[in-house]
Structure 1
């Protein structure tokens, strides 16, 4: 996941002491005491608009000293603080609890606990501000007043609003028993000795005069609220894992929980979940990020991948617009809701990505292989064909047989692959590549898309169509290996630049080429050795750029950092080509990094070597949780299990290479079409699987459509 596309820098984080709560299209970024501090990225956001820019709690006009924060769910946190001692007191006696729930706004339950022997008279105030700034403006640090602001207040109610560009955004704050004035809610409480005082505050968004129903109404127990029910159903519906190593178990549980929290629901189809890219700034559908996350999390919930494909298909390009970079058949890069999206994106949908379109077709092939709702996948075939038409008519603009990109205007992303920062593509000497740029991994994605379409044609008993797409794949593979291989270097070029010269940096991207199968088998050993060389392998994962390259910087966004999802894909590619030991080293490194971060992998980490620092060095502005980082441990587990699924060909492959320290493993409820299978791996590494669909068998050898071969390798 890259930057907001109009911004050429790096993400603005909320600071290492920030707390992020998310649920659907709402999130809250606060300090660890619970306050939202004005003038910072803090805020309560709903549908890409900041509806609270300040939220400060005071007891008797004094700040509350924070003690700790307890986060049980991604949308819930308990902030514990201590009211400062009263005049004449030597010690504080009032404990302050702020129990916050985020979802379609926010609910905050306030509790004062008097631990003293005398009644405590307290005045509790909440200061509220709302700038209604667009998420883009907050993230990029360019918030300025826009439009006309209004305030209304009455008994227990404070309403703030803004009118701008013909639209209105507002927030309604309801607190029974509070005296309200502009920007302030005041409670007066007398807390009995050893007793408690309670109050609740509801903060709800108002869009064009319509108040959004709160997710956590006061009249309903929290455990019965929508987010609580969805979270519980998510955990109960997915596969269960038992593994000997508790650290691995924690990482997998955290990954599954975070992926559940990153689900957002299509407003036009409320029952269709899709996966957002990451918190806090990317709680939106991103083509590339959401597809790759869906691919990695197929064993967890295939219907999340189907929902993602369906929503992306509905927003597939239908006309040409240079401002949004929409083109017929192109899959979007980013969907946004905020009022300012039309200024930043040219509209609410931006299409400036080169890889989401082939990845979309690849995703449909994987849905077919996993037996996900064949009728729904069949309905998406016209969208797949439109995507393939885009690849050949718009993606390959100069007719050289490769897909390349150049932004249509100066408002778009300069780089439109996954390393989409302004300096993300450069040569060994550090020079920035000039467009149009044909990325190596994108050719691999196109190759996999052709083979995915061939598989889909097979399922429709269209033999001639299947052969036609396989032929295109073979031709692309031949061209790729002729033009991208650097015989004097022993690795593949990162890209071809606008003059068709190789961009010769040593990067992790060629691991994606292994993953898709476009690499010639006789060159794979050299690629495998390079990926595990000290230049690229840090001990925590694979660096995006080798230490020997001129632009290398371990603290950069894309030029030497380690991205867990990237490393997981590299490991999958190595396993595909039979380099099990190489794949296992990377897989273990990623899981060790996850353990060091308490089970939650960040978006990226610095590329310092493990021999230099005993712990992975965090990247300061990394999103966490972030979708493909959360899904990376699931792909890593598949790599270690040597697990692949191809129900159309009647096989499930399991060939474990589990490290002994992880012990025996048992997975129950793995979705395979309409069936739910159970996989066990004994301590000596022998697999056993029960509950397979009829006509499907267990094997330890690759399916023909995933085997690496000179003539006909398949899609991942």
Structure 2
């Protein structure tokens, strides 16, 4: 079985690799478009590598790559120069290669002859498919499939293998004008002077001999593909955001494109989209990641949160299973489709997470504020109640009021919060904390879950549930501020360990506690001061671990790096408690970092101080695009607008504090309830056009909820 505690990071991708993504399918290739065997490159469908080698030779030689680009997330275009028959690159032959992923792989190849003479080409496409599970590739292990069978039949090459679960996984390669061999496909063509020759190569995945729905078909316009149609619909659906600051506009545009590319769809509910965690290795539903990303994306498309909640609800735990760590009411950590998922996860879904379950309830509560379908909210309330039952019965096994985690097996995650690396939870002196562990941000999420469920009950007129959840929230807040606060340090402990001893390292996790409002007002100034200290704030973002801590390493995964989503949530917390200048400074640093990353924030980057290097230093195995990194700029824009709809109270708060450097802000086509509104802002003034009937616009920030609940 996969040791989860050894494999939480993304596997390394080759330098200069080109990645295309559509749903859970993706392809990683070299800059030339070739896929070379032996590494992580390849095309993946349903967590199985269906192409492990794709090498084009023309007249026995590779192309000379000229350019590669991604016009859309699901497409790549490569241009290269082919050798002549005598082996010279100084040739009139130009190769244009368009790659599209979806239910397999489609490569459209065109060779243009710019010579005044006809040219003969011998083309060879060397092909292989190891049909390896994604987990094996990511972990650098050999495929566990049985012996692979290959056979050529006319223009088609078939590759198939039998897997541990008894399923036959295979792929068929086909191309117009090809002759298939066991090594690949060959073409012999003559290209007239000043003319071109084209073909389409399709890799068709097969499961027990059956092709997927909506396969690629040669000759069918790419605009008819499912991926292209989804892309067009997304572009028409999402807001159009423009600022005077072109950098921030470009960052927000990139975020929208990335979020669109990371959507995954349920075949049984094709109109329902959820968010995958990130490309290339995490193109799957992850409870925590998908929920936080969909929360931060509400201003772009609240239906993503609805789809994510509905999809998770269908996977909610119903029994106790030590292998997969499923428990009644628990939400899954990760859902996979590959043939080895049962071996790696204990099932296709793995439930080892402490935070996805309370985040499910709090996200549902936040979604209700956006007026997106009372029927959706109502249908999910039973799942929210089962989630709260899990929090109280299984999450809090020792009955002290806090949610703890401890894996019940040897292959699950050792750490089950968002810092889930094996060494991510440590004391100030660097020693590791031992489980069971109660993380500070998990208690904050639980508090938000109780508050959210209380308000949902209030809207439904259920006073008994409203009062019970409000009382639980109040008790949890009081206990949290008493047990986790370190008065001599001026910040909250990262966690309580197995002996209920505070894990006293200074981390970014307490920024999440500010975000949801569990922090007492008298403690917030010290938390804000610590988050903005030189030990925590790099100038680009907030470190996961203070530079004065024993385990600090700016090039670590969770012990000193900067994660954009983490920084964005901390900035949200700073804004919530009225630290406007500090929140604006953090937002500005992260937008500046995004500019250095070409407008696309990665999963994480190194935690070096801004004064040490001109640019933020990339982390070598960071995912990009990655869901909550893509959503972070959207969340930052929202907090600078202080844009907070609340259909449960019939109000919309808009109290902008836009820095002068950003200039004016305008967003058309923002979905609010069943209306499409336009939001405009400049400095401290803002307006809304198309406000839904019955919703009052207020120019003050959204007030804390705690006073109304407990006052």
TM-score, normalisation: structure 1: 0.97
Match of 2:196?
196
- Match runs of 1:193-232 below 5 Å: 193-232=193-232
Match of 1:464?
464
Match of 1:75?
74
- Match runs of 1:98-497 below 5 Å: 98-144=97-143, 146-165=145-164, 166-497=166-497
Moved more, 441-450 or 263-272: 263-272
Give, in whole Å, the separation in 2 of the partners of 1:639 and 1:153: 59
Q: Judge conservation of contact 1:217–1:225 (CA < 8 Å) in 2.
A: no
- Match runs of 1:41-120 below 5 Å: 41-87=40-86, 91-120=90-119
Q: Judge conservation of contact 2:59–2:84 (CA < 8 Å) in 1.
A: no
Report the Cα offset of residue 89 of structure 1: 5.4
Report the Cα offset of residue 710 of structure 1: 9.8
Report the Cα offset of residue 242 of structure 1: 2.1
1:589-608 deviations in Å (ceiling 9; x for gaps): 11111111111110000001
CA separation of 1:198 and 1:707: change in aligned 2, threshold 3 A: same
Q: Judge conservation of contact 2:655–2:701 (CA < 8 Å) in 1.
A: no
CA separation of 1:233 and 1:565: change in aligned 2, threshold 3 A: same
Give, in whole Å, the separation in 1 of the partners of 2:163 and 2:537: 51
Give, in whole Å, the separation in 2 of the partners of 1:668 and 1:271: 23
1:332-389 deviations in Å (ceiling 9; x for gaps): 0000011101110011010000000000000110111111111111011111000000
Report the Cα offset of residue 709 of structure 1: 4.5
Give, in whole Å, the separation in 2 of the partners of 1:276 and 1:90: 42
Moved more, 183-192 or 310-319: 183-192
Q: Judge conservation of contact 1:439–1:494 (CA < 8 Å) in 2.
A: yes
Say whether 1:30 aligns with 2:29: yes
Say whether 1:10 aligns with 2:9: yes
Q: Judge conservation of contact 2:133–2:143 (CA < 8 Å) in 1.
A: no
Give, in whole Å, the separation in 1 of the partners of 2:237 and 2:350: 34
Give, in whole Å, the separation in 2 of the partners of 1:355 and 1:582: 27
Instruction: Provide the aligned length of Structure 1 versus Structure 2.
Output: 709
SS of the counterpart of 1:591? helix
1:98-143 deviations in Å (ceiling 9; x for gaps): 1111111111011111122322211111111111100000000002
Q: Judge conservation of contact 2:642–2:702 (CA < 8 Å) in 1.
A: no
Give, in whole Å, the separation in 2 of the partners of 1:89 and 1:345: 51
Match of 1:686?
685
Report the Cα offset of residue 145 of structure 1: 5.1
Give, in whole Å, the separation in 1 of the partners of 2:196 and 2:621: 39
1:198-219 deviations in Å (ceiling 9; x for gaps): 1111111001211124554323
Give, in whole Å, the separation in 2 of the partners of 1:8 and 1:116: 52
Give, in whole Å, the separation in 2 of the partners of 1:710 and 1:548: 39
Match of 1:604?
604
Q: Judge conservation of contact 1:44–1:52 (CA < 8 Å) in 2.
A: yes
1:650-700 deviations in Å (ceiling 9; x for gaps): 111111111111111111221111122211113x43111122222211113
CA separation of 1:124 and 1:712: change in aligned 2, threshold 3 A: farther
SS of the counterpart of 1:412? coil
Report the Cα offset of residue 642 of structure 1: 1.2
Unpaired runs of 5+ in structure 2? Answer: none
Give, in whole Å, the separation in 1 of the partners of 2:343 and 2:589: 42
Report the Cα offset of residue 148 of structure 1: 3.2
SS of the counterpart of 1:677? strand
Q: Judge conservation of contact 1:25–1:104 (CA < 8 Å) in 2.
A: no
Q: Judge conservation of contact 1:354–1:405 (CA < 8 Å) in 2.
A: yes
Give, in whole Å, the separation in 2 of the partners of 1:289 and 1:24: 16
Match of 1:502?
502
Give, in whole Å, the separation in 1 of the partners of 2:37 and 2:466: 59
Say whether 1:580 aligns with 2:600: no
SS of the counterpart of 2:186? strand
TM-score, normalisation: structure 2: 0.98
Give, in whole Å, the separation in 2 of the partners of 1:708 and 1:80: 59
Give, in whole Å, the separation in 1 of the partners of 2:597 and 2:227: 26
Unpaired runs of 5+ in structure 1? Answer: none
CA separation of 1:68 and 1:117: change in aligned 2, threshold 3 A: same
Report the Cα offset of residue 285 of structure 1: 0.4
SS of the counterpart of 1:652? strand
CA separation of 1:623 and 1:610: change in aligned 2, threshold 3 A: same
CA separation of 1:214 and 1:96: change in aligned 2, threshold 3 A: farther
SS of the counterpart of 2:282? coil
CA separation of 1:540 and 1:712: change in aligned 2, threshold 3 A: farther
Give, in whole Å, the separation in 2 of the partners of 1:289 and 1:9: 13
Give, in whole Å, the separation in 1 of the partners of 2:63 and 2:410: 48
